[in-house]
Amino acid sequence: MHTRSIFFVGTICAFLTACSEPPDRDPRAVREGQRIYANECAACHGGGMEPGNAAASPTYVVAPDLTLLKRRNDGYFPREFVSRFVMGQLEKDDPASPMPDFSAQGLRNVYPHGGADGEVLETDFENLLDYLETIQR
């Protein structure tokens, strides 16, 4: 009976931990993610994380407000979805969408001289996701 109680309490703790807020992010990583955002994303999504200006966008399309990802997903930041979408691993609703596939183009503005061989470094991408997660409203 005692073993059963320990298992039950352990299971409840595991579920509560899974539902809790993410741990505090490393401020340096978040700042680096902000720099990557400013260089790669702000032209379309807006510099202050508000939707971009369609007239300023190279495609004349207003990109979504990235501060509302958590709100649009019942209070959960969809980190895995965002990761897969940005890296071109998900089929887009609109095949003509101006959203680039960063797995194909890399971080051209972060590494304009080919510093990362046109690739997206895992650390850079995690920093970007950390930044996006911290600015959710």
Among 26, 29, 35, which Cα is nearest to 127's? 29
> Sign of torsion, CA 25 28 34 39?
negative
pLDDT for position 16: 42
Among 87, 80, 85, which Cα is nearest to 119's? 87
pLDDT for position 101: 86
**What are the structural domains, with CATH classification, of the chain?**
26-134 (1.10.760)
**61-70 tens-digit pLDDT:** 678 889 899 9
pTM for the full predicted model? 0.72
| Spatial distance between the Cα atoms of 57 and 7, rounded to a whole number of angstroms | 55
Burial class (CB in 10 A: 0-12, 13-18, 19+), 52: buried
Residue 14, amino acid: A
**24-61 tens-digit pLDDT:** 779 999 999 999 999 998 888 887 555 555 445 555 66
